[in-house]
Structure 1
Amino acid sequence: MKSKTITYLLAIIISAPTIAADVLEPQTRSAVNFDLSLPLHMMAPKPIVIERLRGGSIIDPGVISNDSDAPFFDDPALQSALGQLPGPVKQSDFFALDNISGVSPPDPTGDVGPNHYVAMTNLSFAVLNKSGTLLYGPAANNTVWSGFGGACENENSGDPIVLYDQISDRWLLSQFTSAGPQYYNCVAISQTSDPTGAYYRWAILNNNGPGNGNQDLFPDYPKYGIWSDAFYISTRDFSGGSYEGVGAYALNRADLVSGNPSPGIIYFYVPRGTSPWQVGDGLLPADLDGMTLPPNGSPQYFVGTMDDGAGYSAAEDALTFWEFHADFNNISNSSFTRTAIISMTDIDTQFPCVSGRNCIPQLGTTNGIDIQSYRQRPLHRLAYRNFGSHESLVTNQSVEASAGMAGIRWWEIRDLDTTPTLFQEGTFGPGATDGIHRWMGSIAQDGDGNMGLAYSASSANMNPAIRFTGRLVSDSLGVMDRTEGSIIEGTGSQTGSQRWGDYTSTNIDPLDDCTFWHVNEYLNANGGDWQIRVGSFKFDECGDPGFYLNATTSSQAICVSETANYALTVGPVGGFNDSVTLSANGTPGAATSSFTVNPIPSLPGNTTLTIGNTAGLSTGNYAISVLGTAAGVSNQSIDLSLNVFAMPPEVVTLDSPTNNAVAVDLQPSLNWTGTNALNYTVEVASDSNFNNIVFSDVLSSNTVAPTNSLASNTTYYWRVKSANSCGESTYSSVYVFTTMPAPGDCPLIVSTAKTAYANDFDGDVSDWGSSSLNGSNSWDISNNQSVSGANSFYAADIGTTSDTVLISPQITLPLLDELQNNLTLQFWNKQTMESNGAECWDGGMIEISTDSGNNFTQISNDKLLTDPYDGPYTSGLLSGADAWCGDPQAWLNSVIDLTDWAGMNVVFRFRITTDGSVAREGWYLDDFKVQSCEYPDLIFEDGFEAQL
């Protein structure tokens, strides 16, 4: 951006289409596990487990390199105002799923097929039809790998990608694993065109990394692209906590689509080395749009970005261009080569954030959200098209478009396999005029070459929204000169996290090759959780002149003798506006069909199809087709379904959890059997009269899991009733189950809790003390925050060196035997102490003394049944010792196993240590309790000795 004149000669040298410094050697990778799943619709949705058991954090490894934001230089490619020409028109939008996983960011991704939309996030997904009707989910992403075993099933780690493969009419769903020490790309390919059907599944090991004893590499930020010969993947490969380089994979397409247990996999590793600008923060593989394949023998293309002001020592602002030649018959012939550096106009990716990730303002809060522009990588997808006359790639990246204002730089590359050329580029930054930040975009081209760009938008005067714009292929180069549309205007701002999505997706409908589908995030309430919205839009000018048919609801259910009504829209394609005549085929039995308007005189037009005289119909599902005809253009049709019922449904039979089941999962799969039903109402309550309902849902399938975890060690009641168009059944029998005990719980029914000592810090605390081992002591009772009552103990995380302790009274722990065990210490704590990634600058620990407080030892991590230490102290007085820290963390319930100290007199000590800089709020403690579980003497409890 700022040093081109200084480095002009060097820029000329590196811009030549030469290979990277090292010749990269092809390697193989293995699918270490494979199977064919049950149909997805038969799988019980897996619950989202608590954060500490997910197998890994939702992370963005690596240093946030945005702290040295340089003075802004005007962007020569800036479009500073919205276009005024008629833009693409929104076709639909619907809610897909929300933050059932309780994580940030969501990383929304999805794709559209002929009949479905699949949306995937961290850490859940949903399958919907194209009208937004939920067909499956929401469910944890690792539900897709149910029964698969290993890390792909047992972890739920995120960074998902969804792609619809129009070549084979199949779906690809993926995510990585992150717990280690081995790491996998988990890949699932649908066996058929139905995304709720069965999947071929593979676990691909990312092994033999560089350095650190060749430990396996963590494949962060995986991005996928569909190509004629393979499915391609790029990853940011980490060794330990260090970003070492980029991985590029080719997965043999024929092997995956046919379900080969050992597919051909070619892998290249590109080390960052001394030239980290070569790969930046990741490369993006091309992803095919349309049905015209790349020319025979074409390589796959990967693209990266670099900014000479971004800290990776790039010599200029440019795109890096790579070619992947995959030869599955002779892997040694394969190559992955940087074939070009494509110069661009000056770009500024370093954004003046308030601090850290506090970058984009929102209405009603000082909490900013992340722009991610400082990451040197283009955003998903790198959309490829073969137009016959030319091949084209388009992608984008968030930037500082004007001083302090976010925008989107977008590019179109042509002449791919000769001399890759930047055909056009622009920086979409109307915020220079209207003050609205636009970022986290995704771009694609329809079948005519028109571009659609969708993105997040926010400002200090508006909540985050999802918007879109575009350009026709005939418009002036370098400008999105069409009006802006809105998928949804959010009604809330994000206050709990600065993380916004790291990527999103804009895809093309395979049916018309004209409609853009976009998935993104928004909020509907201040401080609430993110929501995921799917929207579609298109240019009226796209396609050969003609028309399309659409039904608001393509499926109707009636009770016999009722009428069914289908609202239909006939819309124009390519400017067509002549009359369209409709006819209904397949009307069942003696039923009749009629249209409120027919023919449709001009487009767009609406009509209603009515199916009447249904008294003589039998129970069943009938297929009806509507045909549209018009002079001089192709006929169009749409399939509708009519579900006829003759009587209300039977009473449902509950299957699982079985009646009186114990140790049931906290998000149990509820399953039942019903017939003749259109939908089911399920209720879970904490009382047998269902006055306190904790979960309810209305759904068409006969299985569901509560969206939030139930309380542990608690008795619940559940029931289901069914309904159809003729009425509803009575509720089923009521079943009761008890959830599994959490660590520290005394199992209901068979035991009772026996408290050895408890203090909620709302009364007498004179038996507690505090002191300083070094520096200032701030331990005291506080009424700022608590779990119960008004008070808690609190110590500040100060900005000077300190080591202070809070000391409990001496507590006599009970002896344990077969009638008394499960001895634990339990307390609630909230940690806002300065962390350093997976380590702690400042932090706290718990210690124990068995000699009346004269000497203390730290209670080790293996005794912490919940809330383990976050990592070692980075430096300071206790460098290397394990500690709790969080910046911030919510209230957590800590449970510690005291079995080793049973029968002893002990004293506990909470210890907080700080270094010499950076203060945080500190550490809160509440509801301290030592308890054991007492079991009855089962031999004599009823007065008789048991016969065993």
Structure 2
Amino acid sequence: MSKICQTLLAVAVAIAATGSAQAAEKVNPGQTYINSEGIQVSVGADWVSPPSQPDKFFLDARTRPIVPAWKPGDPIREVPRLFNGDPKVRQMQAHPVNPVPQGDILSELQRAFGAGTDSRAFTTPLVNRDGQGFSGVFPPDPSGDVGGGFYVQSINGSGGATYVVYNTIDGTIAAGPFTLEGLGSGGACASGNGDPVILFDQLASRWLLTEFSSSGNNLCVYLSADSNPVTTTWTRYAFVPPSFPDYPKYGVWPDAYYVGANQSNATYALDRTAMLAGLPATFQRKGVPTLSELGFQMLPPASFNGIDAPPAGAPGTFLRQVDDELNNPGSNDPLHDRIELFTFHVDFATPANTTLTGPIPIQINDFDRAFDVPSGFGAIPQPGTTRLLDPLLEVIMFPVHYRAFGSNETITGNFVTKVGANNQSAIRWFELRRTGGLASAWTLFQEGTYTPAGDPAPTNRWMGASAMDSSGNIALGYSIDRAVAPTQFASLSYVGRQAGDTPGVMTTAETSLVLGGSAQTSFDRWGDYFQMGVDPADGCTFWFTGEYMGASNWATRIASFRFDACGSPTFSVSGTPLAQEVCAPSATPVALSAVNINVGSISGFNSPVNFGFGSGLPTGFAGSYTVSPVIPPGSTAANLTVNNTATPGLNVITLRGSSGGTDRDLLLNATIATQAAGSPTLTTPANNATDVSSTPTFSWSASAQGNSYLIEIATDPGFSNIILSQSVSGTSFQPAAALPTNTQIYWRVSANNVCGTAGPSATFSFTTQAAPGDCSPGSFTNVVFSDNVESGTNGWTHSAATGTDSWAISTARAVSPTHSWFANDPAALSDQRLVSPTVALPGSLNGLNFQFQQFVDIENNGATACYDGGLLEISVDGGAFTQIPNAQLLVGPYTGAVSGSFGSPIAGLQAWCGAAVPFSRVVVDLSTYAGHNAQFRFRIGSDSSVGKEGWYIDDVKVQGCSSSDVIFADGFDPPPP
């Protein structure tokens, strides 16, 4: 080794970690205190959700309709990146008080190492194929994981996330592409909105598939019953945080599914134990102190991989990186930055005992995230265009992998850093270790910045995804491009290192998976995240997915590769089906479906594996295995029977394989019924209740052996017009969307189990509250003007006082059913107006109002202010247009004032703005204009930077109330019945 390499290596490995052990502390709910190690502890959950009711159903994915491929002319949209605070703060970065030496010492260490070594196995992919193609959505957010002989990839599609299931043996498609929302059964998750995350829960051998819903704050979580995602029973949960959970990233842990979100640094814990049992599940929130100068903040949780579980009682762990030159420029350390850990110890039984401990600092070498971001989020240059790509500079990249090796535990991750002029980027990767269990501290074991020797400068590497295999080898996949000769469009490559190699460097040759073929010129959003996982079948094969530029649009890639030197001999088990419902009405045993169990061999393991039933079988069950012991690789089947002496409800049976002192367990969830479910008794809303909320909580008594309940809600006593039908597991239900206001509602509930149902309950009815714009009971709604934009312009006109007029009828988004008015929000000064025809406003109607539906994706300035905005104006009897004030907005008030700092033509006015706010109703009080003629003008104004999708307007109408049913003709669309 050269002298320079020896010197750089000594510096890199001599970094002292400052993390500390967590001593046992007295828990005092509601308290925040400093523990004996000098670390802050916050006690008690900040927020606890009501139970989310599970919905279960069996699905053979091969029977689902295939999502058609995108074609020219189909919609194009950008998924908004939620930025809290002033997005222009990046252009005004403070200078650190202590200057930082030039260069990245770890980058120099990597260059000094020299060329990497070709490894035939690792640098020759086993699978290297295109994944899902261009969907018209920017960015695609590719996510994927591996398990049970399958790889599942998901991306953002035009109507929410889509997914495809691949066979791991050769990468061929087993099923798909399908919409992720198709795993639901109505309700809040009936319409998805993307940001998918796919994880294989190796502890339970089950799949976790997630995305947003298209409205509300829902996290839609789909949990498989076993390891086969093609044919399985899915359980869906809709979790509703208190505000929109942007950029959610999930992690598997024994006590919870942990989630980080760009939502004021929110961290969440979902009750994994309840979810695996298919029971109603709550989740808890803990907030983390924010960092200054960052408008996008999310802490990813460490996610379990491997065979050895974490120490008993180990809390969930969240991580972030801190660049003190940016986050604390007044007192920065010019040589060091840090990784901060937060540990989340959740108590689902007593939320007051939940604790969040941190930040726990771990010192690392200085890195630089002060990229020059002239507008929007773009920083990474591309060949042949001025369009820059988003490096996602703010967060540690998803996923963060945890793996245990006996008493030694590891956490691996990566993030982007700036290493040179012209925003040259590289990837900082790290490995943390803890030895000795929970009483010990996490420390930095090694870190590196990957910039190989002989690299044509400036080459950019960013959007990394990393993982560690069962032998401690690390792989890192990423985007790579070069804007100057020799140019390279955004491509995908990977690199790796073996355990025991020189610390702080990647030691293999860089391997190209696919070369880019064009530049992205329309948007600066890129990837948002890639994903790397390791197949639990062998603990060695890495699977990676990411985004690259194809011939004209982005595309995705899927690849697998492994090191020859991987794996300690052991065995794995997987089985299907692991969730069953059985009717056992008599003493005669009834057979469950055979559980087929595959016993895998890892690194040549061939010792006999004996099978049993853990601590024994529950009352009423009997069982045996077709083969025991099994010599891996091999298989067996568990055959079980049950009779009516079993305990009705959920029975958890442990299917255990044992060899050489090692146990591997599969949990079979058997739900038993011995008779048909009885009829429930309805409780609330009470029968004949009035003035009931439009989103009431329905409740009923539990039925004998009721496993699930079907609630039906209708507007007639004969239930010929059912407006909502939902299957739930508990005895309460709250609809995600509002019921019709000022309407008599009828409802009933049927209890079900595998033996059948005794029929529906008695029918209850109630009347919902009147909402602004509704007519009181006994009066009639009279529509004066109505236009749902389905039959042309109908007398509407449009123009631009400043900039370009983009108002047009669109099919990209609509309410009823396919068309709406649309204007974009450009990154340039503009003042665009859409004017209605003249409407005569009768003086004889009470409660005269103007209503419309709007979808808003307009540049905001935090939660209560705007940079660009849309507003509503009125002209009375041919006079000048004036703004409708907030006081007249009965529903849907303006977001806030438009900034005067950047030249907006509507500066200082109140307006609507925000990041992809779904269609919602606006109701305007027109009583002061009754008896006059009026025109309405929708006006959208923008400043000179940061463009967004824009503003959609649909279902415009004027109506009022009278004692008689009089229809006002206007020559436009007829009023709704």
TM-score interval for Structure 1 and Structure 2 normalised by the shorter chain: 0.5 to 0.7
Q: CA deviation at 1:581?
A: 4.2
Q: Distance in 1 between the 2:853 and 2:534 partners?
A: 50
- Asked if the contact 2:302/2:402 (under 8 Å) is kept, the reply is no
Q: Secondary structure, in 3 states, of the residue corresponding to 1:222?
A: coil
Question: Quick one: structure 1 residues 349 and 92, their matched pair in 2 at CA, closer, same or farther if it must change by over 3 Å?
Answer: farther
2:219 matches 1:124: yes
User: Pick from 409, 413, 420: which aligns with 1:395?
Assistant: 413
Question: Quick one: structure 1 residues 758 and 658, their matched pair in 2 at CA, closer, same or farther if it must change by over 3 Å?
Answer: same
User: Pick from 83, 105, 110: which aligns with 2:123?
Assistant: 83
Q: 2:297 is matched with which residue?
A: 220
Task: Kindly provide the amino acid, as one letter, of the partner of residue 138 in structure 1.
Answer: Y
Q: Secondary structure, in 3 states, of the residue corresponding to 2:604?
A: coil
Q: 2:68 is matched with which residue?
A: none
Task: Kindly provide the amino acid, as one letter, of the partner of residue 609 in structure 1.
Answer: A
User: Pick from 398, 401, 404: which aligns with 1:380?
Assistant: 398
Q: 2:372 is matched with which residue?
A: 311
Q: Secondary structure, in 3 states, of the residue corresponding to 2:590?
A: coil
5 Å-filtered alignment, 1:476-625, equals: 478=506, 502-503=528-529, 545-560=569-584, 561-564=589-592, 565-583=594-612, 586=616, 593-600=623-630, 602-612=631-641, 617=645, 620=648, 624-625=653-654
2:181 matches 1:157: no
Q: 1:650 is matched with which residue?
A: 678
User: Pick from 138, 153, 158: which aligns with 2:237?
Assistant: 138
Task: Kindly provide the amino acid, as one letter, of the partner of residue 299 in structure 2.
Answer: P
Q: CA deviation at 1:826?
A: 1.4
Q: 1:444 is matched with which residue?
A: 467
Task: Kindly provide the amino acid, as one letter, of the partner of residue 673 in structure 1.
Answer: A
Q: CA deviation at 1:579?
A: 4.0
2:872 matches 1:846: yes
Deviations 1:728-783, CA, capped at 9 Å, x for gaps: 44344455566666643446x554323355566789999878888x5799699969
RMSD: 7.0
Q: CA deviation at 1:615?
A: 6.1
- Asked if the contact 1:393/1:413 (under 8 Å) is kept, the reply is yes
Q: CA deviation at 1:577?
A: 1.9
Q: Distance in 2 between the 1:263 and 1:588 partners?
A: 33
2:895 matches 1:895: no
Deviations 1:505-543, CA, capped at 9 Å, x for gaps: 77899x999599999999xxxxxxxxxx9x999999977
Task: Kindly provide the amino acid, as one letter, of the partner of residue 705 in structure 2.
Answer: N
User: Pick from 942, 960, 975: which aligns with 1:932?
Assistant: 960
Question: Quick one: structure 1 residues 806 and 234, their matched pair in 2 at CA, closer, same or farther if it must change by over 3 Å?
Answer: same
User: Pick from 839, 855, 861: which aligns with 2:886?
Assistant: 861
Q: 2:773 is matched with which residue?
A: 744
Q: 2:256 is matched with which residue?
A: 171
Q: 2:429 is matched with which residue?
A: 411
- Asked if the contact 1:112/1:118 (under 8 Å) is kept, the reply is no
Q: Distance in 2 between the 1:418 and 1:563 partners?
A: 49
Question: Quick one: structure 1 residues 858 and 14, their matched pair in 2 at CA, closer, same or farther if it must change by over 3 Å?
Answer: farther
Unaligned runs of 5+ in 2: 19-33, 57-79, 92-109, 128-144, 153-162, 164-178, 182-188, 213-217, 304-309, 331-336, 435-440, 481-491, 514-519, 548-557, 966-977
Deviations 1:103-141, CA, capped at 9 Å, x for gaps: 554567897656887766554153747726778642234
Q: Distance in 2 between the 1:579 and 1:676 partners?
A: 41
- Asked if the contact 1:447/1:543 (under 8 Å) is kept, the reply is yes
Question: Quick one: structure 1 residues 736 and 415, their matched pair in 2 at CA, closer, same or farther if it must change by over 3 Å?
Answer: closer
2:865 matches 1:825: no
Deviations 1:81-112, CA, capped at 9 Å, x for gaps: 97347799742567896466755545678976
Q: Secondary structure, in 3 states, of the residue corresponding to 1:379?
A: coil
Q: Distance in 1 between the 2:754 and 2:320 partners?
A: 50
Q: Distance in 2 between the 1:679 and 1:194 partners?
A: 15
Q: CA deviation at 1:853?
A: 3.7
Q: Distance in 1 between the 2:447 and 2:340 partners?
A: 28
Question: Quick one: structure 1 residues 744 and 140, their matched pair in 2 at CA, closer, same or farther if it must change by over 3 Å?
Answer: farther
With normalisation by structure 1, the TM-score equals: 0.59
Q: 1:53 is matched with which residue?
A: none
Q: Distance in 1 between the 2:13 and 2:526 partners?
A: 34
Q: CA deviation at 1:351?
A: 5.1
Q: Distance in 2 between the 1:575 and 1:120 partners?
A: 35
Q: Distance in 1 between the 2:444 and 2:806 partners?
A: 65
Task: Kindly provide the amino acid, as one letter, of the partner of residue 898 in structure 2.
Answer: P
Task: Kindly provide the amino acid, as one letter, of the partner of residue 884 in structure 2.
Answer: I
Q: Distance in 2 between the 1:803 and 1:86 partners?
A: 54
2:809 matches 1:809: no
Q: CA deviation at 1:825?
A: 1.1
Q: 1:882 is matched with which residue?
A: 910
Question: Quick one: structure 1 residues 597 and 696, their matched pair in 2 at CA, closer, same or farther if it must change by over 3 Å?
Answer: farther
Deviations 1:648-695, CA, capped at 9 Å, x for gaps: 333344455555566454596676633224445555566666666665
Q: CA deviation at 1:922?
A: 8.1
Question: Quick one: structure 1 residues 250 and 259, their matched pair in 2 at CA, closer, same or farther if it must change by over 3 Å?
Answer: farther
Q: Distance in 2 between the 1:540 and 1:130 partners?
A: 33
Q: Distance in 2 between the 1:264 and 1:411 partners?
A: 29
Q: Distance in 2 between the 1:869 and 1:125 partners?
A: 27
Q: 2:362 is matched with which residue?
A: 301
- Asked if the contact 1:743/1:866 (under 8 Å) is kept, the reply is no
Q: Distance in 2 between the 1:723 and 1:568 partners?
A: 30
Task: Kindly provide the amino acid, as one letter, of the partner of residue 123 in structure 2.
Answer: G
Q: CA deviation at 1:555?
A: 4.3
- Asked if the contact 1:848/1:856 (under 8 Å) is kept, the reply is yes
Task: Kindly provide the amino acid, as one letter, of the partner of residue 221 in structure 1.
Answer: M
- Asked if the contact 2:462/2:479 (under 8 Å) is kept, the reply is yes
- Asked if the contact 1:441/1:504 (under 8 Å) is kept, the reply is yes
Q: Distance in 2 between the 1:656 and 1:445 partners?
A: 53
Task: Kindly provide the amino acid, as one letter, of the partner of residue 649 in structure 1.
Answer: A
- Asked if the contact 1:91/1:536 (under 8 Å) is kept, the reply is no
Q: Distance in 2 between the 1:704 and 1:521 partners?
A: 39
Q: Distance in 1 between the 2:302 and 2:581 partners?
A: 40
Q: 2:759 is matched with which residue?
A: 730
Q: CA deviation at 1:224?
A: 5.0
Question: Quick one: structure 1 residues 775 and 425, their matched pair in 2 at CA, closer, same or farther if it must change by over 3 Å?
Answer: closer
- Asked if the contact 1:309/1:350 (under 8 Å) is kept, the reply is no
- Asked if the contact 1:382/1:393 (under 8 Å) is kept, the reply is yes
Q: Distance in 1 between the 2:223 and 2:249 partners?
A: 16
Q: Distance in 2 between the 1:519 and 1:667 partners?
A: 45
Q: Distance in 2 between the 1:35 and 1:833 partners?
A: 31
Q: Secondary structure, in 3 states, of the residue corresponding to 2:635?
A: strand
With normalisation by structure 2, the TM-score equals: 0.57
Question: Quick one: structure 1 residues 232 and 789, their matched pair in 2 at CA, closer, same or farther if it must change by over 3 Å?
Answer: closer
Q: Sequence identity, in percent?
A: 24
